[in-house]
Amino acid sequence: MELVLLSQFCHSLSEDLNAKPFNVCKAQYLVTLKIRKMRKLLLVLSLLVVFLIGTGMKTLEAQNCWLEHTITWSGNCVYPDDNTAYYANFTIIDVCDNNNPVFSQTKEVATTENPLQAVFCVEDALCKIDEVSLCFKVICTVQKRNKITNAIVCSGQTILPTKNCAGLLQLDGLSTDVQLN
């Protein structure tokens, strides 16, 4: 359809310009091809912009973490099983304030996930960098539980040495491994 219209246009244009029909049509055909290529290029660029905005949002979310810490796990009990799931918990306790938990979050992870890990984001500042008292106990716990009965199949826990605020911030971007038995 486009070629028929193009041909008719080229023929009428060549009559108006007293030009050879082939040269006018060839020029018009090349212009049409360039327009098509430009449309495809614009589509690809707009998709690229949408992708970059989407991944940029994830990056911004990660930047909102005052502290980001990863828990990984390994051991005899770590293997894929459709009837179970892992539950990773990251808890920070302020021992200087009556053992008050200042952060605690649990994440469910399928046994088929690869890698086996849970990333925790502490959004709010828990202390000021100039606080030197060793007040923060960090506990990383992982349990493998039956999905139906909720029975614990195996578990493990790693308790890090008590830290001051600077020591707590040194955990940012690091991971702690928990052995499941």
pLDDT tens track for 31-82: 566 667 666 655 554 554 445 555 444 444 445 999 999 999 999 999 999 9
Is residue 88 within 8 A of residue 106, CB to CB? The reply is: yes
For range 125-135, the mean pLDDT:
93
Backbone angles phi, psi at 180, to 5 degrees: -100, 130
Percent of the chain with pLDDT over 70: 66
The highest-level CATH class for domain 66-180 is mainly beta
pLDDT given for residue 10 in this prediction? 59
Whether residue 112 has pLDDT greater than 50: yes
8: how many CB neighbours lie within 10 A of its CB? 10
Whether residue 136 has pLDDT greater than 60: yes
Backbone angles phi, psi at 124, to 5 degrees: -95, 140
Which regions of the chain carry the CATH code 2.60.40?
A: 66-180
Query: Position 177: which residue type?
Result: D
**Can you give the length of the chain in residues?**
181
pLDDT given for residue 49 in this prediction? 45
CA dist 142 and 157 (Å) reads: 6
H or E stretch including 180?
Answer: strand 175-180
pLDDT given for residue 118 in this prediction? 97
Whether residue 120 has pLDDT greater than 70: yes
Pair of tokens at residue 57: 């949002």
For residue 98, name the pLDDT band (cuts at 50, 70, 90).
very high
Instruction: Let me know the angle formed at the C-alpha of 129 by 125 and 135, rounded to the nearest 5 degrees.
Output: 80
pLDDT given for residue 57 in this prediction? 45
Those residues whose C-beta lies under 8 Å from the C-beta of residue 60, and which sit 6 or more positions away, are none
CA dist 35 and 42 (Å) reads: 10
Q: Which of 86, 92, 90, 91 is nearest to 70 (CA)?
A: 90
For residue 20, name the pLDDT band (cuts at 50, 70, 90).
low
